[in-house]
Structure 1
Amino acid sequence: MRTETQAIADEIKQSLGLLRRHLDWDTARKRLDELNARSEDPNLWNDPTKARSLMAERTRLDEAIGAYLRLESGLNDNIELIELGEAEGDDGIVKEAEASLKAVREDARKAEIETLLSGEADGNDAFLEVHAGAGGTESQDWAQMLLRMYTRWAERKGYKVDLVERHDGEEAGIKSATIQVKGHNAFGWLKTESGVHRLVRISPYDSNARRHTSFSSVWVYPVVDDSINIDVNESDCRIDTYRSSGAGGQHVNTTDSAVRITHVPTGIVVACQNERSQHKNRATAWNMLRARLYEAELEKREAAAQAEAAGKTDIGWGHQIRSYVLQPYQMVKDLRTGVESPTPSGVLDGDLDEFMAAALAARVKGGADAPVEDID
């Protein structure tokens, strides 16, 4: 076997070892057998909440174990083919098997990343908010670019995106917007994107073609499903209704269908305006509030577990996580991990997985907030 091919096989074996340890293989197989037996109990659905939780765990374990077995089989089958081709002097078989082995390596790398998505709410859907910073039209245009970037990323992943609320800028862009990203591990992937994003470019709104720096913030929090109980005292909340803004049809724009809920003890504010019905907007806003309160609790737990990162719950304008430079040169750089891309156009079109994977890995290792030298 060629040295390069052996190196690929060794890399896959390392990934399999990591996946096996992460799964706690023997325990996982035993637990899956137990869940399979319990899923056949005709009385299981007498308690729908418990049943859904059990079936979700069963599906997760079944998929994880199945993925490991497919990778292991892919490795062994292709090594056997390569050895067979070499023994018979058939270069065609060898080349085909080597190409398949490279594909297995890519799948193994993706599976490794998936092991990082094991947090309490990582498998949930996510709410993502974008807010323009100071700077008027410039920052509002940048906020809209970010909204499009995350929408395109979600579409690439096969996720569904629903617009929850949007406030347009006076001339261009958006002042703020909230979307709900629906799909397995949506929150797990997106959770490290919370923070301040900086854009440097020659402004299309400046007649003197000067270079401008704009800031917008992103905030991600998980959708709370039925398995998570969050109690909210309605007496602690102030509910306001108002007229929706932006596109949406005559009825949306001429009735007080939009809903804003303020949780007085924490100061958390959520809003929804995407439905014609005030009742539906109110229900969505309550779900958003529960999600925000849950996210705040997760942040408290993480801060307690990682005392050195106690400041990470304070996402302010000084907490830049990524810079996007379009002029005078082209570069996107993550300020926490040092990951770079020389093609901002691809990143702004949703090519974010490399940045997200690095941030997830750094977060797991406790180094996600380590400063990296900034770029101008």
Structure 2
Amino acid sequence: MAKVKLQNIARKFGNVTAIENITLEIPNGEFWVLVGPSGCGKSTILRAIAGLESITEGEIYIGNTLVNHIPARQRDVAMVFQNYALYPHLTVAENLAFGLRMRREAKAEINQKVQTVARSLNIEHLLKRKPKQLSGGQQQRVALGRAIARVPQVFLLDEPLSNLDAQLRDDTRTELKQLHHQVGITTIYVTHDQTEAMTLADRIVVLKDGNIQQIGNPQTIYAQPANRMVATFLGNPPMNILPVTYLNGSFVINNQFLPINSEIEQRLHPIQGQNFDLGIRPEDIQLATSELNQKGYYTITVEINIVEPLGREILVKSKLLDTNINLDFLVAADWQGKQGDRVTVQLDLKRLFIFDVSSGKTLFASFAY
């Protein structure tokens, strides 16, 4: 096991910059997740650590060793790809043992490690099969097992669950977390799935356009996002963003006034007519009741566009009346609303986020989570 340190690394392809000024230090044994939209540079960072991608600037350390010019095969890292990359002509046992044989380990030791890894991943009964005889989930376990068997200093995973169906993805995610607790290898995991990021990570690195937007533990990033991009990317369903204008102690939206508390005014020091983006998560919006209206909520009327049943609850996609401003919220599974209905909802004024319109920087974040 080893820490991983990236110091001001960059990768450029002609005039195109894939990543720039990436600086982070992953402590020994931690599980970090790189997350962001497609094209944000997360896989480039992973491949640079593995030695599969050269960097234009900066330094990469594994442990205390500068590895910029060390070939991939000598970096003592193990990588699991999205497409599994198993050897089709080898059995499961032979795939698991491949890296160990390349290191010329003793046959008895190889067999012991293969059995141990197979047992931990519940694939002992598959050891004599070829990859084509396995399901997608079984192939992914073999790919994980092959990497674990080597006991590398660093474990790199590039969207390893994206080809699995929803249930198998959930099950494998749980197994991955348990495996990390067992083996304790420093792990860097790339995904565009914010649910995977939130559930797996000790720390999340949120990326956009080749730059780091925020680093932190999942709950901190969720409750205290650094900017509008982070706030809207993490959370499912995503945060609502409403354009508002400050007037006389209230935010005005669509000619309706949302009173704000003194804490927000003290933090923002807004001036008359100043514009902001107001963020509120769907789970902090409820159908209006007189009881809730007495507890720091604000009512607003919307028109329903789409009703999406999610099983235990319903996601309602709506628009503020006579505008193109979207507002999504969640209701109970037995709710009977339909497209075209007008309903009154209540926003929890204690769970607002305020962002600068131009930069997207978070100016105020609720700490109620």
> TM-score by structure 1 length?
0.27
Q: Which structure has the highest helix share of the two?
A: 1
